[in-house]
Structure 1
Amino acid sequence: MSADDPTDRTTRLLVRRDSIGETRLDEVVRGVGDLEPGQIRLAVDRFAITANNITYAVFGDALGYWDFFPVPDGDGWGQVPAMGWATVTESRAPDIALGRRFYGWYPMASDVVFTPTATRDGFRDDGAHRSAHAPVYRSYVATDADPMHPGVDADGVGSSDGEDRHSLLRGLFLTGFLAEEFFADGAGSGVTYFGAERVVVLSASSKTAIGFAQRAAVRGGVEVVGVTSDRNREFVEGLGFYDLVVGYDAIGEIPTPGGAVSIDMAGDAEALAAVHRRFGDDLAHSMTVGRSHHDARPAGDLEMEGPEPQLFFAPSEVGRRQDEWGREEYARRCAEALADFVDASSDWLRVEHRVGPEAARTGWADVHAGDVTPDVGIVATMASVDTSR
């Protein structure tokens, strides 16, 4: 590489769209300073790899997740979005300064180029391929304007652990938070939990489920029943957020008096059908959120007794709550609830770093295979040295 013709490389983790357990590392040679007017380049400092990212890949075509960071020359390969932090390294956008750091959705890659429009707390990606996505998916929050930023660690050396935990928990918790608020006012009807006395949570060890259960436990007034695998049962019981924990083979033993609502993070048709059989018409609402059991038969493949399962789309709920509460009050409630949850996560969640492209690739493989226990969260960086810490 000569000084007269400087180049650099973008390293990205690609996932085969029709077989998401297959991955490959890809390098794209690019020129330094090749940005178009109005564009910025950010170095992706860290990103989380969780079962939720697997869900993005499973629903990538149906919900447009593959379109977040398209791979025009991918020939069946795509980039899966991940939550994390990135720093501006090049800017041809006058309102976005070099060195600023932002939280939001990034590709699992070393860097990314955006076409930003400055906002009150950061920027919105207005690239042509992003225009169809909900605003919440295109919004990036600057650390110096972020009411939810975790701040510095107790030792004062930085915000590394807090940002790790936000990468892992923030997006998932806010989905759980919004789902619990949806049930709390009966989708705007004012009937708490649609009049049911309990909520059945499938895939109770998933981070979204834990966030939901924590909020339901704080609210009180409803029995929170967690359904999980035998290997995760002790962990789920130890969280203290569930009033009752059962295995998937014991769904038929959940008490029925007073009826129930359900929230499904597993996406397993057999498990959800068992809940519907158990309660029938006494199941007041059936919410589907994720698909942590990505190899299981999809829930849509079986006819269900009782109500038809309804997909919960968090961005729509964000808009409803901002309209109802106001944007500032919405932000305050989210920040307060998130801080409580993240602070308490040190009791049950250990952060594990995967540093370097191959380590990030094995991180995806481990999560996809279900080899990561629920008390571990994987945070990856494509850099060979973890410069975010």
Structure 2
Amino acid sequence: MRVSLALPMDASAVARRFIIAIGEMILGEAQYGCVEYRVDRANLRRIAEAERTLDYGEGQILVRVSAFAFTANNVTYGAFGDEMAYWRFYPTEDGFGIIPVWGFAEVIRSRCTEIPVGERLYGYWPMASHAVLTPTRVRDHDFVEGSAHRAALPPAYNLYLRWSGLGRTDDERTYMLFRPLFVTSFLIDDWLAEQSWFGAEAVILTSASSKTALGLARSLSVHEGAPPVIALTSRRNADFVQQTGYYDRVVTYDDLAPLDALDSAAIVDFAGDGALRASLHEQLGDRLRHDCVVGASHWEDRGPQQRLPGPAPTFFFAPAHLVERMKSWGADAFNQRLDAAWDGFIASTKAWLSFKEARGGSEIVAAYTRVVDGGVDPASGEIFHPV
């Protein structure tokens, strides 16, 4: 039986929980009413709240998503949703997609003998109130999501931490906001060092106020032998970027002339802005040693691919480098190095980081729109509570 449970956009958290609970009683033990936030794959600005009935069976768990972070990195998931298969993690109706997010959830129903009700999990969730997982390869501190439609997707996104038993003392908001982004920052830093910085006199980071860029800038700033780091950002965010202390120099998009003084440079591009990329390639010419594409915070300005002076832009896919490093270093050594770098970075954010929290319905839609439009204070972390 399928029952429609329409949830008004301005419904209070208490009312929303009541409606979902009523839906559970109507639908029965093996089904559950869920609220999803779906976006138009052709226009990420269009977001709608919709209800859905989740089915769960033997070997599966049903979780309530309690909180997740939403950043420019999630916008990149949407912008590259087709090319990088991000829409395939939580598929929905044709033309729409559910952007994956990093956060925390509680197990509220379990048909998996190894995962009890009440356990708290950290991982890769849908923008939704609930989700169904199929735990496989369950260990004391983690498990792998084993649903058939995710088998061919990058394994880094299918690993879920059993947070309740980890004994970590991290602030959960800080962890869900920065951990997945800092892993990418850490991997890019390692990869650039492996390439000897491409022989560049300086490394330029576009969208320098984005969370992943900040993590990379800090990592480079403490990496012995790394070249100076130049922030490329909007005039609005220039003061904040300078005040973090992570960058050696700040250049704004509307005045690229200071880059003329460089003998050579490598770019790490978090903006994904086609016009900006063309301007940088034309200005640097044969002085450009490498152009590493990571994100698309300027998702509407990606533009068509075109032939550019200098080296062709090359996409950096963090999960692939993660697998390589896990093999070459071993999991224990990798995590030790990552945690050491993580502790230093998080300590540095205490001087500037704050949080904004959105709870359900209209608040989530408004906050989502703010992030997609690039209107978020770079010193703030957006945390969403779907129920």
Same fold (TM over 0.5): yes
Map of 1:231 onto structure 2: 236
Task: For 1:29 and 1:262, locate their aligned partners in 2 and report how far apart those are by CA, in whole Å.
Answer: 45
Q: Is the 8 A contact 1:198 1:259 kept in 2?
A: yes
After the TM superposition, which of the residue ranges 308-317 and 212-221 deviates more from structure 2?
212-221
Residue 50 of structure 1 and its aligned partner are, at CA, apart by 0.9
Task: For 2:27 and 2:318, locate their aligned partners in 1 and report how far apart those are by CA, in whole Å.
Answer: 46
Runs of 4+ in 1 over 6 A off after TM superposition: 2-5
Matched, 1:269 2:274: yes
What per-residue deviation string (whole Å, max 9, x for no partner) do you get for residues 365-386 of structure 1?
1111222111111100111xxx
Residue 48 of structure 1 and its aligned partner are, at CA, apart by 0.8
Residue 88 of structure 1 and its aligned partner are, at CA, apart by 1.1
Map of 2:204 onto structure 1: 200
Q: How does 1:5-24 map to 2 (within 5 A)?
A: 6=28, 8-24=32-48
RMSD over equivalenced CA pairs, Å: 1.8
Indicate how the Cα distance of structure 1 residues 58 and 4 shifts in structure 2: closer, same or farther if over 3 A, else same: closer
Letter in 2 for 1:62: E
What per-residue deviation string (whole Å, max 9, x for no partner) do you get for residues 107-152 of structure 1?
01111001110343311111011011111011111114548x444x
Matched, 1:282 2:303: no
Residue 171 of structure 1 and its aligned partner are, at CA, apart by 0.9
After the TM superposition, which of the residue ranges 271-280 and 173-182 deviates more from structure 2?
271-280
Map of 2:154 onto structure 1: 134
What per-residue deviation string (whole Å, max 9, x for no partner) do you get for residues 153-206 of structure 1?
xxxxxxxxx1111111111111111111110110xxxxx212212101111010
Residue 84 of structure 1 and its aligned partner are, at CA, apart by 0.5
After the TM superposition, which of the residue ranges 280-289 and 125-134 deviates more from structure 2?
280-289
Q: Is the 8 A contact 1:232 1:374 kept in 2?
A: yes
Map of 2:71 onto structure 1: 50
Letter in 2 for 1:176: S
Indicate how the Cα distance of structure 1 residues 79 and 3 shifts in structure 2: closer, same or farther if over 3 A, else same: closer
Map of 2:255 onto structure 1: 250
Indicate how the Cα distance of structure 1 residues 177 and 3 shifts in structure 2: closer, same or farther if over 3 A, else same: closer
**Could you tell me the percent identity over the aligned residues?**
36
Residue 332 of structure 1 and its aligned partner are, at CA, apart by 0.9
Mind listing any 5+ residue stretches in structure 1 that lack a counterpart? 152-161, 187-191, 384-389
Task: For 1:371 and 1:283, locate their aligned partners in 2 and report how far apart those are by CA, in whole Å.
Answer: 31
Map of 2:80 onto structure 1: 59
Task: For 2:154 and 2:169, locate their aligned partners in 1 and report how far apart those are by CA, in whole Å.
Answer: 25
Task: For 2:199 and 2:236, locate their aligned partners in 1 and report how far apart those are by CA, in whole Å.
Answer: 33
Task: For 2:87 and 2:25, locate their aligned partners in 1 and report how far apart those are by CA, in whole Å.
Answer: 36
Mind listing any 5+ residue stretches in structure 2 that lack a counterpart? 1-21
Indicate how the Cα distance of structure 1 residues 137 and 20 shifts in structure 2: closer, same or farther if over 3 A, else same: same
Q: Is the 8 A contact 1:11 1:357 kept in 2?
A: no
Matched, 1:99 2:118: yes
Matched, 1:173 2:182: yes
Residue 256 of structure 1 and its aligned partner are, at CA, apart by 4.4
Map of 1:26 onto structure 2: 50
Map of 2:127 onto structure 1: 108
Task: For 1:198 and 1:82, locate their aligned partners in 2 and report how far apart those are by CA, in whole Å.
Answer: 33
Indicate how the Cα distance of structure 1 residues 3 and 203 shifts in structure 2: closer, same or farther if over 3 A, else same: closer
TM-score by length of 2: 0.89
Task: For 1:176 and 1:327, locate their aligned partners in 2 and report how far apart those are by CA, in whole Å.
Answer: 18
SS at match of 1:250: coil
